[in-house]
Structure 1
Amino acid sequence: MTEPFDAIVLGAGGAGLMCAFTAGQLGKRVLIVDHADAPGKKILISGGGRCNFTNLHTAADRYLSANPHFAKSALGRYGASDFIALVDKHRIAWHEKTLGQLFCDGSARQIVAMLLAECEAGEVAIRLDSPVRDVTHTDGRFTVAHGDRAASAPALVIATGGPSIPKLGATGFAYDLARRFGLKVVEPRPALVPLTLPQDEALFRELSGVATPVVARAGRATFAEAALFTHRGLSGPAILQVSSYWRHGEEIGVDFLPDQPAGWLLEAKRARPRATLKSALPLPDRLAAAIAERLALDGELGRQRDAALTQAERRLADWRFRPNGTEGFAKAEVTVGGISTADLSSKTMEARRMPGLYAVGEAVDVTGWLGGYNFQWAWASGWAAGRAIAGT
């Protein structure tokens, strides 16, 4: 027997739960289906277990997409303040950490519990541990065979995310399903991911665990946050941010001393002529030693030519690395690329040429910066689709 619903949401992550309870509370009979054994797994591990659930500075220019304007509509109609109001309604204490990033004071489990409570209020049916076996479309209805059951509805929502963090069960299912119904997919690649360095950068790979504030650049993208050296290469917030913009074969630039004025090294030479470059660098000791070794400026500053010190300053302000890859989807927080926005309505998230089919969250070619932006896209796109399904 095939059970009838008004909408079937594939995926019990942030975007799927948001979409389901929005439509459910507006009177629609909604079913969520997920192959995982628990909802909101990505929410639970985010923000060190405290869930960086939104960002006060959310705007469309903080997102990557083949269409940079696509996110404006959903984000403009459901913003950070709207989700904060929901969090406050459930009396979840929160705080701003840095750069507009909001976290739970307690646990990310509170956010999942909140979303499930809202689903319960909308009488949403949730079926977990229920892999999708087949999806068909006939006579204006989608039929989803899942587990040992089947359900049908005039609306189907793809909310199964991207392939990042496969240990949580992430797959490319969303893309396969989208292609089956004629939607294009922008090539997916890991984003917000550590970069790896080649063997000739072993000097830096040996600095594993050293972190320092930097300005990192990839193309025109620039981020001022911390960089962290790992045994495989580079990580830390600044590097994760530029990784979303980096392409194989390209260089990234790192300003190791963004707060130093021009000519600071010449000034150090005059003030402390007997100091070495290593001791003059206001950096962690191991990093200062590695940089001094790479620059090969031996001996006291007072013995160095001004031109050599000026060149060293320039190098420190734009140190070039050419990564040989990333740590892949296994370590990527999100995915760049996904279901093409050219095939979706920016207002409703509905497929232009397949009425009743929607795509939301990470499954779509919209990827936010680090710091709560991707969750805000999940909430906003899920809300937009849920409202559209309910006809409001």
Structure 2
Amino acid sequence: MKSRERMAMRTVVEQLQASRIREVANEGLGRDDVLKFWFGESDEATPGFIREAAMASLQAGETFYAHNLGLPALREAIAAYTEGLHPAHPATHWLGRIAVTSGGVNGLMLASQALVEAGDDVVVVTPVWPNLAAQPAILGAHVRRVALRVQAEGPRAGAWQLDMDALRRVVTPTTRLLIVNAPNNPTGWTLSAAEQRDILAHCRRTGTWILADEVYERLYFAGDTANGAAPSFLDLCEPDDRVIVAHSFSKSFLMTGWRLGWLVLPPALIDAIAKLIEYNTSCAPVFVQRAATVALQRGDEVTPALVSHLRQCRDTLVPLLRQLPGVSLAEPLGGMYAFFRLQGQDDCLALAKRLVREAGLGLAPGSAFGPEAAGWLRWCFASRDTARLVQGVERLSGWLQARTAGGQTRL
């Protein structure tokens, strides 16, 4: 056997698209003058009391394995937190349905591992964070995409929306899993409760599982729900519904680097997920779980202020971008991103690289989130200082003016 043949890996892995966001970020390596808005995280550090809880755990010598499903105290805190957001059921209803995972992305992969086999039909609503489409593909599934579309007219002209008729046509009794991320990364699109009911009813008829990535649930700006959070499948589904909801501590608690999340599952899947956790990561680190427990217990000191500040960031950035020539975007209802396009520009990867080199502005290319988003750019507005956002728009405006002055009408 030739050496090359011995070293060959699975074709699907070889064909995975490398992160185009990191490809753009590499353009700015070693440059301190670049305003960086490419990654999906705040530039604000985790609150001190959360960090102190982790340090106290380490000082106490909690450096050993934990339960596969997570520390009982953390699962109880998650159950209480879930009850607070979804009060139709008590914490005891949720407790037996929670699995703590080593990050939201790990939870999503565990869900796919539990449900998807090679050759299965999986449908993903796109554009979307690329991991959501890649994970079932890695497992050998046939992944199909239902693309959001931009509304052409009406009060929400320019906003992204889901064609429910198209979704119902694509999701059939042969579809094993439907993956939906709302509030959505990158578009800010958010499902309404009515749309969630429609999707759940249709998937009940077809026998299709739903994997709902709701990590941005608390980062919601519409303010049309009783709890201030985005509509959730957890408000609608019964314990035996084929629904898994993924959450993370990353966004709402400023804990991206901690790598901790959780799944809410039908009770019948809990034992299976525990086994999969054992074979993937065994458990999440105890000191991280201690920090997360405190984060939930004192969450009112973090999340409401964060959401208020993110709203301010959004309301600073979006109007300024709209004033630029050739820019089109819709005000995001949730998440931490402004998703926009420049008229006449289709190669957003090349554009993003040019903006780094020529304007010192770091944005994510829309093509990182699927072919449906080619020509778009994602701007993470989770910035401690809104002045950085203003400065970023000034750099983009100056760059556009320079192109126009130079006779480059097509960017």
Shorter chain as denominator, the TM-score bin is: under 0.3
Q: Which has the higher helix share?
A: 2
| TM-score, normalised with respect to structure 1 | 0.24
| TM-score, normalised with respect to structure 2 | 0.23
Q: Which has the higher strand share?
A: 1
Kindly name which structure, 1 or 2, has the bigger radius of gyration based on alpha carbons. 1
